[in-house]
Structure 1
Amino acid sequence: MTAPDDGSSGDEQTGVSIRCQDTPSVGVKFCDRFSFDGDSVHYAVEVWAPGLTARVDEVVAWVWDSDLVSFLEELAADYRGWDGERSWRTNDRDLAVSAVFRSGGHVGLTWTLRPWPKGSGGWSASVTTWVEAGEQMSTLAADIRHFLALSQG
């Protein structure tokens, strides 16, 4: 289940939260968006689960890159399912998403944070959120599209 944060907590920033429909204590949040120029958007991604909280502060979405929105839209378009795993990652490899389809029309999205992927002593953290294929996936793609929109900078 996705929920665009409306900033009503007094915070000027908006974000998108995704909670696992099977286990609501597991989730992901896209937040703290900013842009230096018209070529990229920078944002933070947080993941949480019982006993785990992790955050990457500066994920970068480039306008020329294969973007997360297209990946999510393709998953939504294939709401009847697919075999195997599909995956996407940022150009810097600090955020990766893999997707599997489960009978009953549900998509498991595994969100992996891996800051400094080329540095020694780095870390990674992953959580899996389950959402309904089709409408919830379409809503998620639209929410992420709105969050990453360059015109908001």
Structure 2
Amino acid sequence: MVSPDSDRTLDEQAGVVVRCQDNASVGVRFCDRFSFDRDSVHYAVEARAPALTARVNEVVAWTRDSDLARFLEELAADYQGWDGERRWQTDDRDLIVSAVFRSGGHVGLTWTLRPWPKDAGGWSASVTTWLEAGEQMSALAADVRHFLAPSREASP
């Protein structure tokens, strides 16, 4: 989702940028997308906040599994709210997204990056972005679906 004050547009080079509506210095960026085959899409995820920059270089999205775009679409469809926390993660658990709903129609998405989650001494970093439950969530879901769409150029 590209913020209205940005001159960047959604494309494979720029990726998808999610900015917190409460604090524009907090955000997440999906970028550097590539694919080896039709079964997966690889990409990087960057998280930033004041005094924090973190990046996971190779997150894998499998086309056969429940994907991030579907998770975000379900959140957008429940724009009137829900109780508790909802959660999605990659198979490797290097990207975890949790969502909460707060009064006033806003969704808090906490993006947790954990490269090499099974290695001792690994690290993790999280940022939370707040978006409007309806329009902004729907736009984000559509942008992520476009970004993660399997490449037509990948070999079978």
User: What TM-score results when the alignment is normalised by the length of structure 1?
Assistant: 0.93
Moved over 4 A (4+): none
1:40 and 1:25 map into 2 onto residues whose CA distance is: 31
Q: Deviations 1:16-69 (Å, cap 9, x if unpaired)?
A: 000000011000000000000001000000000001000000000001111001
Quote the Cα distance in structure 1 between the aligned partners of 2:85 and 2:124.
Answer: 20
Query: Partner of 1:90 in structure 2?
Result: 90
Partners of 2:19 and 2:77 lie apart in 1 by 21
The yes-or-no answer on 1:6 pairing with 2:9 is yes
2:114 equivalent to 1:111: no
Aligned equivalents of 2:97, 2:38: Cα separation in 1: 25
Distance of 2:74 and 2:80 partners within structure 1 = 12
TM-score (norm 2): 0.91
1:13, distance to aligned residue in structure 2 (A): 1.6
RMSD of Structure 2 on Structure 1 (CA): 1.6
Give the secondary-structure state (helix, strand or coil) at the position aligned to 2:120.
Answer: coil
C-alpha displacement of 1:6: 3.1
Q: How does 1:33-44 map to 2 (within 5 A)?
A: 33-44=33-44
Partner SS state of residue 150, structure 1: coil
Aligned to 1:126: 126
The SS at the match of 2:119 is coil
- Give unpaired runs (5+ residues) of structure 1: none
> Sequence identity, in percent?
77
Structure number with the higher strand fraction is 1
**Cα distance between partner residues in 2 of 1:65 and 1:113:** 20
Shift of 1:14: 3.2
Structure 2: where are the runs of 5+ without partners?
none
Report the equivalent of 1:63: 63
Cα contact 1:97–1:111 (8 A) shared by 2: yes
